[in-house]
Structure 1
């Protein structure tokens, strides 16, 4: 990090203004903190590079059905044009391992028909599974981030602005959830979901999807709430808040129209750092078998592929590297956003 710099160090080039004596004077034009942060991000090469990677991965996830249709590959055998496992898999023992693909890796040459090969025992196309798994993981992480941020910001505003019993009660709830073990809660919830919603595959898939988001939100909103509470504690004694109270502005308007706009910077930074955490958490839970068992996700793909790490390394390392690239890009972008919104730092 370089030396510190203040908001006043950034300003637009002043334009000359004609004075009464005929000499040109410069008009001073300032920038808002948000524009300053965006300007920093626009000149941050690392942030631009990470943003490009994230946009590409998001585009691949969004257009997964069209990409698979264009390449004539399918994530499962339910598609009418997809080959059956008996057509693409070796049903006999091959090098001591049954069920490996007849085309592509690990024992055959590269083919454009299946760029990442086929999954053993099922014959699913690995590229299609990767794209749909990326789609599921991004949807889960994004929804969990949005809901957790909304809950954390709301409760943080109330706890920071209120006094006495309300603040004490909300603070106790925050501390209680922070002390509860996250993995233990997920482990306890998984068999409950399976036993109550395991009648059909579709019902179980939807229940696991909702439950996973619920678990991530339930154990993920506390950090945001504590951050916002601390910020509100320092803002509620400012002159503009005191003036709003004196003239009778409703509490809800003070919270969401006076305090919330001044919390945009920490909220944006928290979102940028929370999203990669949820991506990794979803992958970890699915890998442990307590996340999504009926839907395709990156974590589930890693869980299925780990037993083939010796003979079929591509099958395992493709989703692992995808998760690694996504999480690293999100984390580095989050660091850049944090530095951009902090007037005392400079990358």
Structure 2
């Protein structure tokens, strides 16, 4: 049974894909539905949803269109999530593969570095990096990826430790294949499934981290994001709760969709679960 067929039989994967498709449509249609700058003043502040047909989801505390910020915020969150996930997975794979394949002092040194990163809470380390390197949107994506690579590294290392002495690896060594080819062309494809599944966790976590930074006023203020909108809504939470509630719901839907897809991938790529199916 192919991976796509397995995913098609997973209710969690189907629900997650539908929810994520909604967010993707929001991101893709933002420029068409709202051609103007989403951060520009559009009308009277704090107009309630559906009170004005020009602003179906209302306006925020300074008169910006909430719907426009939600749609453009989908672009921001997905971009940050994607870049951060790629950075974290690439770093984690390289570190974990080298540690698991070579072992000995290389494994010890790389794992000590990994443990050093893990001793500091991810969000605290992220705050430090943002203070040092700034809060530009691309910088945020890279720094979130940098604080998220330790778990993929440990997962990759564990897979390499179980695979490095298998018969096919011994055969490659007997044929004189260089280590880099054995690592990246022979062992890594067999070690990737759990790492790919965990990538969904990294992406969801990255979106939440950016929202938390924006809530604290440490995200890029020149970019429309869900976290920035929640931060603005915090000041008017008692009088205009929709300003913070709407982006919070979209964040919930996005993170839930990614988590459900990850669960579906786990079900599809787990051999024991496939045999039960």
Say if 1:286 and 1:299, in contact at 8 Å, map to a contact too.
yes
1:306 pairs, out of 222, 234, 237, with 234
Name the counterpart of 1:38: 4
* Paired residues of 2:136 and 2:220 also in contact (CA < 8 A): yes
Match of 1:283 in 2: 211
Does 1:168 find its partner at 2:168? no
User: Is the 1:287–1:302 contact (alpha carbons within 8 Å) kept by the matching residues of 2?
Assistant: yes
CA contact (8 A) 1:272 1:337 kept: no
| 44 and 186 in structure 1: CA distance in 2 versus 1, 3 angstrom threshold | closer
Q: Does 1:343 align with 2:262?
A: no
Cα 1:181–1:272, aligned 2, differ >3 Å: closer, same or farther? closer
Measured against aligned partners, the alpha-carbon deviations of 1:153-174 in whole angstroms (never above 9, x if no partner) come to 1111111101322111111111
- Judging changes above 3 Å, is the alpha-carbon distance between structure 1 residues 252 and 284 closer, same or farther for their aligned structure 2 residues? same
Whole-Å Cα distance in 1 between the matches of residues 250 and 53 of structure 2?
20
Q: Do the aligned residues in 2 keep the contact of 1:60 with 1:131 (CA within 8 Å)?
A: yes
Aligned with residue 223 of structure 1, among 151, 171, 175: 151
Contact 1:74 1:124 (C-alpha < 8 Å) held by counterparts: no
Contact 1:158-1:167 within 8 A present in 2 as well: yes
2:53 to 101, 112, 118: 112
CA distance in 2, matches of 1:270, 1:113: 41
C-alpha separation between the residues in 1 aligned to 2:128 and 2:151? Answer: 23
Q: What is the aligned partner in structure 2 of residue 126 from structure 1? A: 66
Tell me the CA shift for residue 215 of structure 1: 2.1
Taking the TM superposition and a 5 Å limit, the aligned residue runs for 1:200-219 are 208-219=136-147
1:76 to 29, 39, 44: 39
1:257 paired to 2:223: no
Please report the RMSD computed on the Cα atoms of aligned residues, expressed in angstroms: 1.9
Work out whether residues 273 and 334 of structure 1, in 8 Å CA contact, stay in contact via their aligned partners in 2.
yes
Identify, as 1 or 2, the structure richer in helix. 2
**TM-score normalized by structure 2?**
0.92
Residue deviations 1:228-277, cap 9 Å, x none? 10100110110110111111001111011110111231122111222111
Which of 301, 317, 320 is the matching residue for 2:248? Answer: 320
Query: Distance in 2 between the 1:344 and 1:68 partners?
Result: 48
Task: State the distance in 2 between where 1:148 and 1:140 align.
Answer: 12
Relative contact order higher in (CA < 8 Å, ≥ 6 apart): 2
Distance 1:239 1:130 in 2: 53
Q: List alignment gaps of at least 5 residues for structure 2.
A: none
Question: For the structure 1 residues 186 and 261, does the alpha-carbon distance in structure 2 shift closer, same or farther, using more than 3 Å as the test?
Answer: closer
Would you say the 8 A contact 2:136–2:219 is kept in 1?
Answer: yes
1:246 aligns with one of 162, 174, 195: 174
2:12 and 2:263 in contact (8 A); partners too: no
* Residues paired across the two proteins, number: 275
Give the Cα–Cα distance (whole angstroms) in 2 for the partners of residues 47 and 120 of structure 1: 38
Does the 8 A contact of 2:122 with 2:148 survive in 1? Answer: no
- Determine the structure 2 residue equivalent to 1:272: 200
Mapped contact 2:60–2:66 kept (Cα < 8 A): yes
User: By how many angstroms is 1:63 displaced?
Assistant: 2.5
What TM-score, normalized to structure 1?
Answer: 0.74
Q: Which structure has the larger Rg?
A: 1
**Is it true that 1:144 corresponds to 2:84 in the alignment?**
yes
Q: CA deviation at 1:67?
A: 1.7
